[in-house]
Structure 1
Amino acid sequence: MSKPSFSLLLRLLTPSLSSLSPTPPNLALAATLFRLAHAASYKAVARRFMLDSAASCRVFYTVCKAIVDKLGYMFEFKSDMNRIVVGFGWISLPNCCGVLGFDRFQIDGKILGENGSLMVQGLVDSEGRFLDVSAGWPSTMRPETILRQSRLFSGVEESRELLNGPCFELGDGNSIPQYILGESCFPLSPWLLTPYVDHRNGLNSSEWAFNSVHRQGMELVGTAFGRVRARWKLLSKNWKEECIEAFPFVIVTCCLLHNFLIKCSEAMPDVNVEYYSREQELPPFEGEVDENGRRTRDALALHLNRVSLRR
């Protein structure tokens, strides 16, 4: 993090760090960022920043809470929809409002079963910003269950405050509502478009065109999570099961810092993300197919096929 970005973040957080006195806010923020970036233990942080271990722990969680409280507006799904839609338009996805996927974060111990992990559902835009993050779900839960219990689902299906913008005219008499792309583990719906399943007969040209663009879109999720892990190495460390309640809070903190650094035009870490290696771990949705969702996906697939043929 550059000095100007650190100074800006410090100004935003300082009013929320008065409870840490006599530890100055700049020291508290530096210690927290050091632990996040280097996966340093509390003892190592304490030695480096001349704190005792108890103070090191208190400083860390106080600063993380301040980041979540003060930077929460940087999950901009509702407030910046026009920019989001325009961004996806540049990559051949008209009226798209985000890409939804999962990442897994390992937990030691048996509390979540053998090889247990926490699931984090993330929605990202075309620039890799997180628009919505729902963290802390046990890997024993099915993806569609996690989705239905998330704030994102509630905002679309219940309160109707999300994805309620105008439809987009495709130019062939068809129109499509605002939508997001999602992994095959999610149920297909008019606002959540999943890929076509490649059965034995193979895909037709329109279905292939859709899946190709869909795959490119889904890579945005893997890249965003990959960059968060690359910069904040504490997330790649296996957390002890007694810390399971705090871990989701730290993950959200790191996603907000990721957005903050994009806003500050900081260089992002280079990552080589094989997104579908993770997707293959998630079972595909096997429930009934929503017919309105099928029609929306078919209309978009025909549009994408025509666009690809004109190139």
Structure 2
Amino acid sequence: MEKQNTNFRASLPVRKRVAIALWKLATNSEYRSIGHLFGVSNSSVCRCVQDFCKAVCTLLAPEIVHFLDREKLKDMADYFENGWGLTQCVGAIDGSHIPIIAPLEYHTDYFNSKGWHSIILQGVVDGKGLFWNVNDWVGQGGLYPVCTKNICGVNVGYYVLGDSAYPLQNWLLKPFPDNGRLTPEQQTYNKKTSRARVLVENAFGRLKGRWRCLMKRNDSDIKLAKSMVLTCCVLHNLCESHGEDFHQDWNTSSEEPVLVIAAQDMEEECSEIRQALMRHLNV
């Protein structure tokens, strides 16, 4: 992000450029207000935000938000089992709408059922509330490397927990649909998996609480808006892993996410995995 001085003017120090970008992400203030606060032009504010997000997405994101390897998958499965009694679980998945201004092209593709334009942030968090997958569909071929464990007579691989909006997969387990006729065992399964799934809901709350550009309408172009979303997820992981304070008054309730998922339920193939886990949780 460092720029060279010219014969006409000195460049902004890197610390100031980073501060300007962080202020934009944390407050979503207008460029004019930020420029007045830091004593720079509107165009300088815009360039600082673009350069900072590009640097984070290029250099930090691959190191901080990445698919878990074999060793980390095992560690995370142990973490979930020790904390929530969920064998083979390695994360929780959820999504949320990020308000944006209507793009000039294909604006109807971004118009959601609630009546405004948005992009969908889908994330998977680990047992500590850190994102290890953002906006990628993790189920291509299942969660690899495959490591199965026999649970009540069924070989169960690693899986993540989702809510009822997601399709049932052998790597993605969701609650039994509450039709008013759930058995006590199914209710126990829903209750215990729901307690663990709160992790991802809390992660989204803390993410949006710190970075207000995800709560208010983002008036940047669609490319920069997507870059800002990923940047905020990276910064979230940094803040959480370093134990940064989070004030509960920052938290605001978010809307119920609406997810568009192409895959369909694989009930016949996957229901026995959910049934096996249900039996295990009721022992």
TM-score above 0.5:
yes
Whole-Å separation in 2 of the counterparts to 1:252 and 1:225: 13
Q: What's the TM-score once normalised by structure 1's chain length? A: 0.77
Q: Which amino acid aligns with 1:244?
A: I
Q: Tell which deviates more after alignment, 253-262 or 32-41.
A: 32-41
Structure 2 residue 186 is the aligned partner of structure 1 residue 207: yes
Q: State whether residues 20 and 59 of structure 1, in contact with CA within 8 Å, keep that contact through their aligned partners in structure 2.
A: no
Contact 2:35–2:42 (8 Å) recurs in 1: yes
Report which stretch shifted further, 218-227 or 291-300. Answer: 218-227
Letter in 1 for 2:196: G
Question: 2:205·2:253 contact (CA, 8 Å) conserved in 1?
Answer: no
1:302 aligns with 2:279: yes
Return the letter of the residue paired with 2:55: A
Across the aligned residues of Structure 1 and Structure 2, the Cα RMSD in angstroms comes to 2.5
- Does residue 152 (structure 1) correspond to residue 152 (structure 2)? The answer is no
Summarize the alignment of residues 1-311 of structure 1 with structure 2, pairs less than 5 Å apart. 17-19=1-3, 22-72=11-61, 73-79=63-69, 80-89=72-81, 90-109=83-102, 111=107, 112-113=110-111, 114-134=115-135, 150-154=136-140, 157=141, 162-170=143-151, 172-200=152-180, 202-240=181-219, 243-270=221-248, 278-279=256-257, 281=258, 287-306=264-283
1:152 aligned partner, one-letter code: V
Secondary structure at 2:282 match in 1: helix
Q: Distance in 2 between matches of 1:82 and 1:234?
A: 35
Q: 1:301 to 1:32 in 2, by over 3 A?
A: same
Unaligned runs of 5+ in 1: 1-16, 135-149, 307-311
Distance 2:198 2:240 in 1: 18
Aligned residue pairs, count: 265
Q: Secondary structure of 1:180's match?
A: strand
User: 1-side partners of 2:97 and 2:251: how far apart?
Assistant: 17
Aligned-partner Cα distance in 1 for 2:279–2:260? 27
- Give the letter for the 1:78 counterpart: L
Distance 1:20-1:62 versus aligned 2 partners, 3 A rule: farther
TM-score by length of 2: 0.84
| Identity of matched residues, % | 26
